[in-house]
């Protein structure tokens, strides 16, 4: 993630004033301004009804269009463009006017997930389904439609974002469910991709033999991206990882990895295990410590550091993104976020559990709701995150006190059906240059504006590139 600092004396003065206002707001804001969830957590909106706290409002929406009618997935941002993943390819949106976003281009390139990262003139697209070939003209590879069973990473040149050009493919074991951009260290003219993938079938599959206890490291020479290749497949779990239980998934790989390159750290959400990595050697990440939660966690899904790199928020994908988990029956601790502090004991880093956070509103039993992808909101001195919860909507919450997280804003669209269990809602909700962008699985794109004294200073922060799984220290730019 690259940032540009506010420039000029006026902006510096405005930043100081905003910081003072933030401090006053934190000390004096009345309870009503906290915009907590409704007093009655059982009040469920009507079908497609939009509800929100007073401080978080929708300012724009774009429906899906053209050939990209598949599932919307993850985001990456660069300059005035937002790149939105879709199971049929990816969108390029012009967000130079956040309240008037436009579709600038569409790339048809079928493959599940189609997780996206960007850097410079390059875009990386991760495919996690076996395809008949490595081009963008492909089908699902099955016994009925045989092919070479390709899955992995595609590299695109986005020198002109309006006409992305396919450059190279890199095949990886088990494909790429997610992929994390890792900048090289000083003097290293490469970037790296940590490719997370896993085998849930419990049996050997083409391109995905068990035990799959590893990640794939792809090295991409910036001067010659066509030479991108897998350079390592480090085994993360030589002991096999968590063997599984009645309520928790066995570990056969990782679902997602987030890196904090400046601190040479990475956090892995690896099915049955949470992992803290040392990434001093980018091509050879090593495990520092692992943690498990055999009581309340079913599937370690994703991870986010706080800005100081002293905490990790892990999410639990209870129900695999296909179940109603935000209801009274499931309760507040299962299918939640878990906050861990990174502590040092006898010279070694450990992860210590502090608390759970889950949206404090019940969803209907027909709504697929799950803790999903989010990012920090750049507020100096506070740990504030925006997060997608599928049909649970978008939640903004403060975990500055690791033991007492609290929601400060929310926005959601009501059930898609009150008769049938239905998937949909926000897959990824990220803060980018003053606005929250939510990629809705079925509906399209929602742009939200947060107006709250506790986050007002974040409006001044500007990034020129943003990949949520590639964290950077935003305090260096204030």
pLDDT of residue 200: 86
CATH code where residue 135 lies: 2.130.10.10
**How many structural domains compose the chain?**
1
pLDDT number for residue 276 = 98
Query: Does the residue 52 lie in any domain?
Result: no
- Per-residue tokens: 446: 């929602």
pLDDT value at residue 202: 79
pLDDT at 204: 83
pLDDT of residue 270: 98
Q: 367 in a domain, yes or no?
A: no
Per-residue pLDDT of the chain (478 residues; tens, 9 = 90+): 555 444 333 334 334 434 444 443 433 333 333 334 443 566 899 999 999 999 999 999 999 999 999 999 999 999 999 999 999 999 999 999 999 999 999 999 999 999 999 999 999 999 999 999 999 999 999 888 988 899 999 999 999 999 999 999 999 999 999 999 999 999 999 999 999 999 988 788 888 999 999 999 999 999 999 999 999 999 999 999 999 999 999 999 999 999 999 999 999 999 999 999 999 999 999 999 999 999 999 999 999 999 999 999 999 999 999 999 999 999 999 999 999 999 999 999 999 999 999 999 999 999 999 999 999 999 999 999 999 999 999 999 999 999 999 999 999 999 999 999 999 999 999 999 999 999 999 999 999 999 999 999 999 999 999 999 999 999 986 6
Tell whether 89 is covered by a domain. yes
The predicted structure's pLDDT at residue 193: 98
Interatomic CA distance for residues 446 and 375, integer angstroms:
16
- What is the reported pLDDT for 206? 82
| pLDDT in the model for residue 223 | 97
Classify residue 210: in a domain, yes or no. Answer: yes
Range of the structural domain that residue 105 is part of: 80-241
pLDDT value of position 33: 33
- pLDDT value of position 41: 62
Per the domain annotation, does 135 fall within a domain? Answer: yes
Is residue 53 domain-resident?
A: no
Token reading at 249: 């998934």
Q: Is residue 107 part of a domain?
A: yes
Residue 65 is assigned to a structural domain of this protein: no
Tens digit of each residue's pLDDT (9 = 90 or more) over 57-82: 999 999 999 999 999 999 999 999 99
């Amino acid at each position: 993630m690259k940032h540009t600092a506010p420039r000029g004396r006026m902006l510096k003065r405005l930043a100081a004033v905003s910081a003072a206002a933030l401090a006053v707001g934190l000390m004096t804001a009345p309870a009503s301004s906290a915009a907590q969830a409704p007093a009655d957590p059982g009040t469920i909106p009507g079908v497609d009804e939009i509800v929100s706290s007073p401080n978080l409002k929708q300012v724009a929406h774009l429906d899906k269009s053209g050939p990209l009618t598949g599932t919307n997935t993850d985001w990456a941002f660069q300059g005035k463009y937002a790149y939105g993943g879709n199971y049929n390819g990816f969108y390029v949106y012009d967000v130079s006017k956040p309240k008037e976003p436009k579709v600038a281009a569409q790339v048809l390139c079928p493959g599940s997930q189609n997780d996206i990262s960007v850097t410079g003139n390059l875009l990386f697209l991760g495919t996690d389904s076996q395809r008949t070939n490595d081009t963008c003209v492909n089908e699902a590879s099955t016994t009925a439609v045989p092919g070479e069973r390709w899955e992995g990473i595609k590299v695109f040149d986005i020198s002109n974002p309006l006409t992305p050009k396919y450059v190279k493919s890199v095949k990886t074991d088990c494909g790429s469910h997610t992929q994390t951009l890792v900048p090289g260290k000083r003097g290293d003219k490469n970037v790296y991709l940590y490719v997370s993938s896993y085998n849930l079938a419990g049996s050997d599959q083409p391109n995905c033999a068990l035990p799959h206890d590893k990640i794939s490291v792809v090295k991409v020479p910036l001067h010659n991206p066509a030479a991108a290749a897998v350079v390592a497949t480090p085994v993360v779990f030589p002991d096999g990882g968590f063997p599984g239980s009645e309520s928790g998934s066995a570990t056969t790989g990782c679902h997602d990895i987030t890196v904090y390159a400046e601190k040479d750290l990475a956090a892995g959400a690896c099915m049955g295990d949470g992992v803290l990595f040392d990434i001093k050697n980018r091509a050879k990440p090593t495990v520092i410590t692992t943690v498990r939660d055999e009581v309340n966690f079913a599937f370690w899904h994703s991870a986010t550091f706080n800005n100081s790199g002293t905490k990790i928020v892990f999410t639990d994908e209870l129900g695999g993104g296909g179940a109603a988990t935000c209801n009274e029956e499931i309760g507040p601790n299962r299918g939640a976020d878990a906050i861990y502090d990174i502590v040092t004991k006898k010279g070694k880093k450990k992860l210590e559990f502090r608390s759970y956070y889950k949206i404090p509103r019940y969803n209907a039993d027909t709504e697929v709701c799950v803790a999903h992808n989010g990012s920090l909101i750049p507020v100096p001195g506070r740990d504030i995150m925006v997060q997608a919860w599928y049909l649970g909507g978008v939640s903004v919450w403060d975990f500055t006190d690791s033991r007492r997280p609290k929601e400060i804003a929310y926005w959601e669209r009501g059930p898609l059906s009150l008769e049938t269990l239905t998937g949909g809602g926000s897959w990824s909700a990220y803060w980018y240059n003053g606005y929250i962008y939510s990629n809705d699985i079925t509906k399209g794109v929602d742009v939200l504006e947060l107006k709250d004294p506790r986050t007002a200073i974040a409006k001044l922060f500007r990034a020129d590139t943003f990949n949520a799984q590639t964290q950077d220290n935003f305090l260096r730019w204030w």
